[in-house]
Chains A and B, each alone.
Chain A
Amino acid sequence: MKESVIEIRNLCKSFGNNHVLKNFEMDLYRGENLAVLGKSGSGKSVLIKCIIGLFEFDAGSIILLGKDIQKFNNEQWDHMRRRVGFLFQSNALYDSMTVRENLEFPMRRHEIKKKKSNEMEGLIRETLANVGLEHTIDMMPAELSGGMRKRIALARTLVLQPEIILYDEPTTGLDPVTAREISNLILEVQRKYNSSSVIISHDMNCINITSNRVVMLIDGKCYANGTYSELNSSQDPKVRDFFD
């Protein structure tokens, strides 16, 4: 039996009359890369923001690493967010800070802070080296290209070595070569840190490279569920729309 690290049941979320998620169900198993595929505006970002607690949901339940997030207080969230990383669709780098300070920021709150500063520096350099951008350590985010910013954002997510990583469209807006590099990076991260990930995307190449399993989010529901090749051979027109 596979162990679930995220369990979502009957999740509902609406903004006024806009019912974005309607009884959505999903499981993420330990060590797997799960891709969530859906049209633009189908509620993918809303879904993972519900998981990390940036949005409150209307009904249903989310069990994160065995704990029901609905009952969380601030302290419990602090603790949980140490174990769950989030890569923003828009990167959300702190643009008034250098790359080093960006990576230090998540650490200032957590146990690693108590480590000596040279250990912290070592960890930052190692994480930057993992995304291949060690030389940018003293640059400002504005001086970096879009692809580099994505990698720095990824490094900032990885610096706490989370057990679960939520990627919101890691390859959108990048050229095919850089997109493939990022996809390979995600695979490498899974292997190296032994993490479980939810990857939101509508980039089929990225999904093909990175995912062990795919969930399709259509009309606020989990419409289909299977490996990339299983869905690719499906005859359902709504599924085919994505693969053709």
Chain B
Amino acid sequence: MKDVFNINKTLEEVGGISRFAARFFREGFKPRYEFGELIRQCFWVGYKSLSLVGITAFIMGLVLTIQSRPTLIEFGAESMLPNMVGISLVREISPVITALICAGKIGSGMGAELGSMRVTEQIDAMEVSGTNPFKYLIVTRILATTLMLPVLVNLSNAISLYGGYLGVNIRGSISWALYWSQVFNALSYSDLVPAIVKTVFFGFAIGLVGCYKGYYSNKGTEGVGRSANSAVVVASLLVFIVDLIAVQITDLLGLT
């Protein structure tokens, strides 16, 4: 049991990540902003995951609709299918699945990229050439994921709802206009806003963990692999933890 779950190591890691986050807030808002690099990172974060997010979102919407239909028919509520699909996609499924995909794709990419930069002393080289590597590499990346994840999630919402439209029309038939009016009637701002706000935190968590793991990568090729791997594991776990906290908060605020 001790090998599987080492409490000291876990707490150490939590402490390390917290300190890293504190350093982000301390250094990120002081001048010498790296705007060019930030734009470049935003482009890469969005562009690299665009196709993957799109495809999974479409399949997600389609499958969810197809699988929900029999249950709803049992209750005689088949006409509620668009409402139900809309709410479950926008409130929970699309944000979480998108975040998990990004944790896999972006988190591991950052862990590996920064890890190999650390191992090949490129981060040290930046430091001796008078560029603060924390600002140039870390702050820009964390900001990029924080800004881009909400964008990706909105995109995923839209595409998965298109998938849902197709799913409804496979067995039943519903007009384009009716589908969308039913979906939008079911959704209110108290569904959408908390869901988007939590994706900001998802994005922050993914960027933070990916960068932390890469920045403190151990020497050697093995260290790079390990940082990429644990970046994904920890980031995914963190996404769920943030989700859990977010649902408590929205519940307390009565936004249900």
On A, residues with C-beta under 8 Å from B are 49, 52-54, 74, 77-78, 81-82, 84, 86, 88-90, 92-96, 105-106, 108-110, 156, 160
**Complex formed: what's the CA distance from A53 to B130 in Å?**
11
A92: chain B residues at CB < 8 Å are 120-122, 124-125
A88 close to B125 (CB less than 8 A): yes
B125: chain A residues at CB < 8 Å are 86, 88, 92-94
CB-based nearest A residue for B113: A96
CB-based nearest B residue for A79: B130
CB-based nearest A residue for B131: A109
* B-side interface mostly: helix
B218 at the interface (CB under 8 A from A): no
B128 close to A74 (CB less than 8 A): no
Q: List 22 A-B contacts (CB under 8 A).
A: A53-B128, A54-B127, A74-B132, A77-B130, A78-B130, A86-B125, A88-B121, A88-B124, A90-B120, A93-B122, A94-B117, A94-B125, A95-B122, A105-B126, A105-B129, A105-B131, A106-B129, A106-B130, A109-B129, A109-B130, A109-B131, A156-B129
Minimum CB–CB distance from A24 to chain B (whole Å) comes to 21
Minimum CB–CB distance from B30 to chain A (whole Å) comes to 10
CB-based nearest B residue for A94: B122
Which bracket fits the contact residues of B? 10 to 19
- Known: A54-B128, A82-B130, A93-B122; 7 extra A-B contacts, CB below 8 A, are A52-B128, A54-B124, A88-B124, A90-B121, A94-B125, A105-B126, A105-B131
CB within 8 Å: A-B pair count: 48
A110 close to B128 (CB less than 8 A): no
Minimum CB–CB distance from B61 to chain A (whole Å) comes to 36
Question: Which one of A53, A77, A82, A109 has the greatest number of beta carbons of chain B within 10 Å?
Answer: A109
**Complex formed: what's the CA distance from A108 to B136 in Å?**
12
Minimum CB–CB distance from A142 to chain B (whole Å) comes to 12
CB-based nearest A residue for B128: A86
CB-based nearest B residue for A108: B131
**Complex formed: what's the CA distance from A84 to B164 in Å?**
62
CB-based nearest B residue for A102: B125
**Complex formed: what's the CA distance from A159 to B59 in Å?**
53
Minimum CB–CB distance from B65 to chain A (whole Å) comes to 42
Question: Which one of B117, B121, B128 has the greatest number of beta carbons of chain A within 10 Å?
Answer: B128
CB-based nearest A residue for B36: A108
**Complex formed: what's the CA distance from A109 to B126 in Å?**
11
Q: Kindly identify which residue among B113, B120, B126, B130 contacts A110, using a CB–CB cutoff of 8 Å.
A: B130
CB-based nearest B residue for A82: B130
**Complex formed: what's the CA distance from A105 to B133 in Å?**
12
Chain B 96-126, CB-CB to A under 8 Å as 1, else 0, gives 0000000000000000010001001110111
A86: chain B residues at CB < 8 Å are 125, 128
The 10 closest A-B pairs by CB, nearest first: A106-B129, A92-B125, A92-B121, A109-B130, A78-B130, A86-B128, A81-B130, A92-B122, A88-B121, A52-B128
**Complex formed: what's the CA distance from A110 to B125 in Å?**
15
B122: chain A residues at CB < 8 Å are 92-95
B124: chain A residues at CB < 8 Å are 49, 54, 88, 92
B120 close to A95 (CB less than 8 A): yes
Question: Which one of B117, B124, B125, B126 has the greatest number of beta carbons of chain A within 10 Å?
Answer: B125
B113: chain A residues at CB < 8 Å are 96
**Complex formed: what's the CA distance from A84 to B113 in Å?**
28
Minimum CB–CB distance from A56 to chain B (whole Å) comes to 13
B126: chain A residues at CB < 8 Å are 94, 105
B121: chain A residues at CB < 8 Å are 88-90, 92
A108: chain B residues at CB < 8 Å are 131
